[in-house]
């Protein structure tokens, strides 16, 4: 691996001129995106397993760096795609995390790390139903929804990094949102009349 470099066209991070090794650039990529990739994984799988998956995400990125095409997606979106695929292999863990999110967490108290999972949601009563609705979504629909809602990726970024047609992104997203909106509408009605 020594002396191995990747094409300068690959914007791993701030592209510095000169002969910088991949290792150095890879570390920059890591430093720059660790925080948000970790947050995304911790949101979906809980903080306890996030470090495993995040490490795996960056290792996969490193291994697949030759297949990365900077003209199609930014590094950030690409990392989100890898993380999403790895999360997809942990379905039971994700279901468990969603169940936990639906409840309120166990007695936490400052200043521990427990408050890291923020427990505030505007309508507390909505929480369990929303989490259940998310858990019931098809995994692929949920992936798209969360890449939009949590990562803020665009449709073409999602299409690229998940390797699905552009139109499919839209249809999966609408299906997921339709289900959630039905739920939200029901709640508004209940709040009004109940």
Cα–Cα nearest to 58, from 9, 97, 23: 23
Q: How far is the CB of 40 from another protein (least distance, A)?
A: 9
Residue positions counted in the chain: 194
CA–CA separation, 167 and 159 (whole Å): 8
Stretch 86-145 residues interacting with another protein (CB under 8 A): 86, 89-90, 93, 96, 99-113, 115-128, 130-131, 134, 145
Helix axes 47-63 and 22-45, enclosed angle (nearest 10)? 150
Candidate residues 10, 12, 13, 58; the one interacting with another protein per rule CB under 8 A = 58
Which residue number, 55 or 191, has a Cβ lying nearer to another protein?
Answer: 55
Interface with another protein includes 13 (CB under 8 A)? Answer: no
Interface with another protein includes 11 (CB under 8 A)? Answer: no
Interface with another protein includes 146 (CB under 8 A)? Answer: yes
Q: How far is the CB of 16 from another protein (least distance, A)?
A: 19
Interface with another protein includes 42 (CB under 8 A)? Answer: yes
Interface with another protein includes 73 (CB under 8 A)? Answer: no
Dihedral sign of CA atoms 10, 16, 22, 24 in order: negative
Cα–Cα nearest to 129, from 118, 138, 121: 121
Q: Which of these segments, 13-21, 41-49, 77-85, binds another protein (CB under 8 A)?
A: 41-49
Interface with another protein includes 54 (CB under 8 A)? Answer: yes
Cα–Cα nearest to 127, from 184, 182, 87, 176: 184
Interface with another protein includes 27 (CB under 8 A)? Answer: yes
Q: Token pair of 144, please?
A: 């798209």
Which residue number, 16 or 188, has a Cβ lying nearer to another protein?
Answer: 188
CA–CA separation, 116 and 46 (whole Å): 10
Number of residues that bind another protein (CB under 8 A): 84
Q: Token pair of 158, please?
A: 């999602």
């Amino acid at each position: 691996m020594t002396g191995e470099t990747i094409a300068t066209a690959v914007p791993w991070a701030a592209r510095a001129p000169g002969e910088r090794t991949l290792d150095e650039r890879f570390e920059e990529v890591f430093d720059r995106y660790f925080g948000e990739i970790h947050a995304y994984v911790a949101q979906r799988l809980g903080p306890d397993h996030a470090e495993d998956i995040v490490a795996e995400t960056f290792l996969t990125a490193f291994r697949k760096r030759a297949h990365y095409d900077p003209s199609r997606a930014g590094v950030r979106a690409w990392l989100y795609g890898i993380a999403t695929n790895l999360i997809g292999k942990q379905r039971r863990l994700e279901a468990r995390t969603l169940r936990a999110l639906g409840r309120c967490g166990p007695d936490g108290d400052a200043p521990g790390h427990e408050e890291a999972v923020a427990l505030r949601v505007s309508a507390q009563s909505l929480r369990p139903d929303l989490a259940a609705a998310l858990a019931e979504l098809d995994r692929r629909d949920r992936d798209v929804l969360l890449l939009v809602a949590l990562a803020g990726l665009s449709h073409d970024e999602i299409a690229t990094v998940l390797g699905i047609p552009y139109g499919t992104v839209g249809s999966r997203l609408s299906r997921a949102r339709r289900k959630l909106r039905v739920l939200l509408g029901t709640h508004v009605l209940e709040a009004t009349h109940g």
